[in-house]
Structure 1
Amino acid sequence: MPQSESEENKLRYRRTQSVTRAEEITTKEEKQRRVQPDKPCHRPRDSLFSWSSGFDNFTGLVNWGFLLLTIGGFRLCLENLLKYGIRINPVQWYNVLSGKNEGEGHPTLMLVAYSIVPMSMCLLLEKGLAADIIPETAGMFSQIVNILVLILLPMVILHVKGHAFSIIGATTVCFLYSILFLKTWSYVQVNMWCRKSFREQQKPRKRRPSISIAELQNHAGHSDDSKQTDKDVPKLVQYPNNLNYKDLFYFLGAPTLCYELNFPRTTRIRKRFLLKRLLEVIFGVNVLMALFQQWIIPSVRNSLIPFSNMDVVLATERLLKLAVPNHLVWLCFFYLTFHSFLNLCGELLHFADRNFYCDWWNANNIDTFWRTWNMPVHRWCVRHLYIPVVQMGYSSRKASVIVFFISAFFHEYLVSVPLQTYKIWAFMGMMGQIPLSSFSKTMQRTFGPRMGNIVVWASIILGQPLCIMMYYHDYVVTHFKDALTSEEYNDS
């Protein structure tokens, strides 16, 4: 055994020597070539498109792609205008958004105003639990019922009196009550954590050993110093002093879904920043409505007949044609919501945490995308769903599936309930993100991060218009059955 080990060491040493010797020979050869009278200009190097070259500056190609995309989009805009004319009509949007298409009594406004009732009920229950007036079990059961009513109330009312609501009004109600559901969940759970900690602090403790007079004087001296240094520091709100309407309504208006007793605050409102965000919101809303009215609606209507007849070729052509305007609208909606509107709310309320999104456009797999594109929802899922489920003894894999299941429910809820077309396309699309995540990670490991990022972008660009076409088809079939036979199909 010792002889064999020594022989292996000699072989390794010789192999190392041979590599070093080869590099030395190559270096000497290059030096000799440089001094030759033929003025050599070649040296060993890889092509820039080779992975081994280490070249990564493709700014010019990115500019080229952006310019080409702009030209293609401009051509599509001209084609749309030549075919359909100018369809933008702000009066129609005003009629829809103002509720003139709704029944008497403005049911959307009534449901929005009624949302104060379950939130007040939640606050009263928390006050009763904090004062030990309500037993813990009964109080938490009442809170769970109150939270479930929040999410089920729009579903029941829209099912019974859906004809009295416009699509915009129904969507607004469902979106508002979904946000209140998540905020109430966080409010109840955080107060439960604080209540447990508060009660533990109120328990009698064992008597501490006596201390000397010198230690007592030193402690007093340190406390005086700390009072002088901390006199300008604002005092933190402690439980149960947070249980009031002012604190609750601030949380309801704050651009976050996760409740805290003491949110980070800014010291002032930046007027120029606020004005920029306000103008972006006003301009962005009009751009979204114009794109939707001019581009999305005609493309979706023209996809109805191919989808009904299961014409795969024409349906695919319509899907690809709808992908570009839909993706443009989605990007505008992302910027308008997560940058302009949430920053506007944060600036008005002095809310300092503006981490509403991360660099999701660089995501190399689906998991990274869902963790970075919507930070308020991601933070809520991790804090109030994923970590508690893991602490209950479930594996991280099962906890992730539960998170996707809840997310899939809300995606379906926000589409099916306003349209009153109860299908499972959005739910299946979200649950399909689990196998798609495994596929994107496989592509990332096999072909590199760039291919994983391409898979992410492909799922975003193609998945949403397919879902829109399926829901539009089902909506027309459910509510306008005669449209399939009476509508003229205009081939582009």
Structure 2
Amino acid sequence: MTREQEGVRYRRAQSVTRAEEIKAVEKKVRYSQPDKPCHSPRDSLFSWTSGFNNFTGFVNWAFLLLTMGSVRLLLENFIKYGIRVDPLQWIYVLTGLNDGGSGHPAIVLILYSLVPITICLVIEKALSVEIVSNTLGMLVHCLNLIALIMLPMVVIHVKDGFNLVGASAVTSFYTVLFLKLWSYIQVNMWCRRSHQKKRKSMRRSSASYTSISRSADNSFDSSSEKLETKGLVQYPDNLNLRDIFYFLCAPTLCYELNFPRTERIRKRFLIKRIFEVVAGTQIVFCVIQQYMIPSIINSLIPFSNMDVTQTTERLLKLAIPNHLTWLIFFYITFHSYLNLIGELLQFADRNFYSDWWNANNIDTFWRSWNLPVHRWAVRHLYLPVVELGFNKTLAGISVFFLSAFFHEYMVSVPLKTYKIWAFTGMMSQIPLSSFANYVEKRFGRRWGNLIVWSSLILGQPLCIMMYYHDYVVTHYGESLLEEYGHV
């Protein structure tokens, strides 16, 4: 490189500062003119280059319009349907009196869950003392888990007397129990393997004993290990009824031998959570009775006739109360109820959710909104699949597949309407995630977040309308559709 070229580059590097000086001088000269200039180079506030970001007034305006629109819908609903909130109806539904049920099969089925729990604990005890082989023990565990998840499907389909709420409670309970026992079995398998390796290494070290110094080193290592694990439960001391039932009641799906514990139960905190659960549940019942049920019923004929305009109107009308119900349900479940259980059991890990509302893509949302399930999926399914040699894409698909199965399980079994809408909705999250990632990279994080919110607001009511239509057709036939059509 020549000195002349170096000199040119040197002058260009200094030209920015020089240009700023020239502009400053020109500005000073211009403003000293007698015409009193008032213009300068500036961008409009709505331009991205303006750097303006204070839109507080628009936020207040949006909330005001939202409030006015909500009050109008409230008045319209009361004028059209009257007051539909009736606590007695919920008592009939929850007790099964409206279905003529008196045997309470849902309670019997939940109590029966003690059988697979006991089988699981007995097999683990037998494996720990090597009464049964590892192959036979794991085979019994697999059969026990399969029977556990199949039992509600068979009983609810065959046995009469199940109401919708009771059947939903049973399927949700057995789903959680299935995931917890899976974690319990897998963690004890890890501990058992580690315990067996330690015993083998101790046998080898004692067989190869050669000198006093080596013996001193071994005794020092074992004593230091004992100091580190002092006060902690060790395998197989954890295999008892108290330990497994604490885990089954704890607000987590991932088993550990030693959970973090709090020092005391905060009574004021506990009372707040109880109040939130009770009040929030009543609000959910009111919104369902007053807003959701009329909209769901009115969507039957337009959806059956595939009237796109009216179906879209019903979908949008159902979307708002359904989304409000979902938000309240999220709060009372993941904040109020799980914190209530955690406080009673002095369970210290209260990280049940993350800031899913800021998720810029579908992947981030599913990793944030339900952390107990996310931790279980990563710890007990995703990582084991990867460790078996499969790629991360297949591991992620397996997680979505299992999630889709249980979503369908908790919807189709109580309704006795075996469709695949919930399963399809969950599996469609995979291509939707790719689309959301593309939008986020192409147009920015805000647009990715809008896609997440749109899928939550519109996807759920669409699924409700499809299942209601299929439920009516399956259990009441086309004649009811014709009857509604003539009304």
TM-fit CA distance, 1:209 = 7.1
- 1:54-203 to 2 correspondences below 5 Å: 54-100=51-97, 101=99, 103-161=101-159, 163-203=160-200
The equivalent of 1:23 in structure 2 is 20
Once the two structures are superposed, residues 198-252 of structure 1 have per-residue CA deviations (whole angstroms, 9 ceiling, x without a partner) of 1101112334775769x98xx79x97xx97xx9xx97111111111111111111
Q: Which whole-Å deviations, capped at 9, do the CAs of 1:111-170 have from their partners, x for residues lacking one? A: 010011101110010000001011100000100111111111101111212x32101111
TM-score (norm 2): 0.92
- Residues in 2 aligned to 1:363 and 1:14: alpha-carbon distance in whole angstroms: 47
The answer to whether the 8 Å contact 2:103/2:161 transfers is no
SS of the aligned residue for 2:85 comes to: coil
Instruction: Give the drift of 1:61.
Output: 2.7
Q: Cα gap change, 1:39/1:82 in structure 2, threshold over 3 Å: closer, same or farther?
A: same
- SS in structure 2 opposite 1:268? coil
Residue 370 of structure 1 corresponds to which residue in structure 2?
Answer: 366
Give the whole-Å Cα distance in 2 for the aligned partners of 1:242 and 1:36.
89
> Where does residue 391 of structure 1 map in the other structure?
387
Say which SS state the counterpart of residue 204 (structure 2) adopts. Answer: coil
| Cα drift, residue 74 of structure 1 | 1.6
2:238 alignment partner AA:
N
**Cα 1:124–1:212 shift into 2, 3 Å:** closer
Cα distance between partner residues in 1 of 2:34 and 2:100: 90
| Matched position secondary structure for 1:86 | coil
1:432-480: CA deviation from partner (whole Å, max 9, x where unpaired): 1111111111111111100110111111101110000000000001111
Give per-residue Cα distances to partners, 1:46-97, cap 9 Å, x unaligned: 3333223334443433333223222211211111110000111100100111
SS in 2 for 1:137: helix
Deviation at 1:13, TM superposition (A): 3.9
Spell out, residue by residue over 1:283-341, the C-alpha distance to the aligned partner (whole angstroms, 9 max, x if none).
01111001001100000000000011111111111111111111111111111111111
2:297 alignment partner AA: R
2:435 corresponds to: 439
Q: Check 1:271–1:32 CA distance in 2 against 1; reply closer, same or farther (3 A cut).
A: farther
Task: State the distance in 1 between where 2:48 and 2:7 align.
Answer: 35
* Alignment partners' CA distance in 2, 1:130 and 1:407: 31
Task: State the percentage of identical aligned residues.
Answer: 62
Q: 1:487 is paired with a residue of what secondary structure?
A: helix
SS in structure 2 of the partner of residue 22 of structure 1: helix
Residues 32/274 of structure 1: CA separation in 2 closer, same or farther (3 Å cut): farther
In structure 2, the gaps of 5 or more residues are none
Counterpart for residue 335 of structure 1: 331
2:434 partner SS: helix
Q: Deviations over 1:335-371 (max 9, x none)?
A: 1111111111111110111111100000001111111
Q: Relative to structure 1, is the Cα distance of residues 132 and 73 closer, same or farther in structure 2, using a 3 angstrom cutoff? A: same
Give the corresponding residue for 1:478.
474
Equivalences for residues 300-449 of structure 1 within 5 A: 300-449=296-445
- Aligned pairs (5 A) from 1:254-333: 254-333=250-329
Amino acid in the other structure paired with 2:80:
K
Q: Which amino acid aligns with 1:394?
A: F
TM-score when normalising by structure 1: 0.91
204-213 vs 146-155, which moves further: 204-213
Question: 1:35: how far off?
Answer: 6.9
CA distance in 2, matches of 1:60, 1:209: 82
CA separation in 2, counterparts of 1:147 and 1:348?
Answer: 29
Cα distance, 1:398 vs structure 2: 1.1
Secondary structure at the counterpart of residue 346 of structure 2: coil
Q: Residues 201 and 316 of structure 1: is their aligned pair in 2 closer, same or farther, counting only changes over 3 Å? A: same
Separation in structure 2 between the aligned mates of residue 449 and residue 295 of structure 1, nearest angstrom: 33
1:205 maps to a residue whose letter is R
Q: Which amino acid aligns with 1:334?
A: F
Give 1:21 shift.
Answer: 2.3
* Letter of the structure 2 residue corresponding to residue 79 of structure 1: E
- Contact residue 122 and residue 146 of structure 1 kept, 8 A: yes
Q: Please tell me whether the aligned partners of residues 101 and 162 of structure 2 are also in contact (alpha carbons under 8 angstroms).
A: yes
Deviations 1:237-279 (A, max 9, x none): 1111111111111111111000001111111111111111100
Is the alpha carbon distance of 1:424 and 1:8 closer, same or farther for their aligned partners in structure 2, counting shifts above 3 Å? farther
Matches of 2:185 and 2:213, distance apart in 1: 45
| Deviations, residues 346-404 of structure 1 (Å, cap 9, x unaligned) | 11110111111100000001111111011111111010011111111111111111111
SS in 2 for 1:164: coil
Tell which deviates more after alignment, 478-487 or 39-48: 39-48
Q: Cα 1:31–1:132, aligned 2, differ >3 Å: closer, same or farther?
A: farther
Query: Is the CA contact (8 Å cut-off) linking 2:96 and 2:161 kept in structure 1?
Result: no
The unaligned stretches of length 5 or more in structure 1 are: none
Query: Secondary structure of the residue that 1:423 maps to in structure 2?
Result: coil
- RMSD over aligned Cα, in angstroms? 2.5
Secondary structure class of the residue paired with 1:260: coil
Quote the Cα distance in structure 1 between the aligned partners of 2:5 and 2:464. 66
CA contact (8 A) 2:96 2:102 kept: no
Of 147-156 and 49-58, more deviation after overlay is shown by 49-58
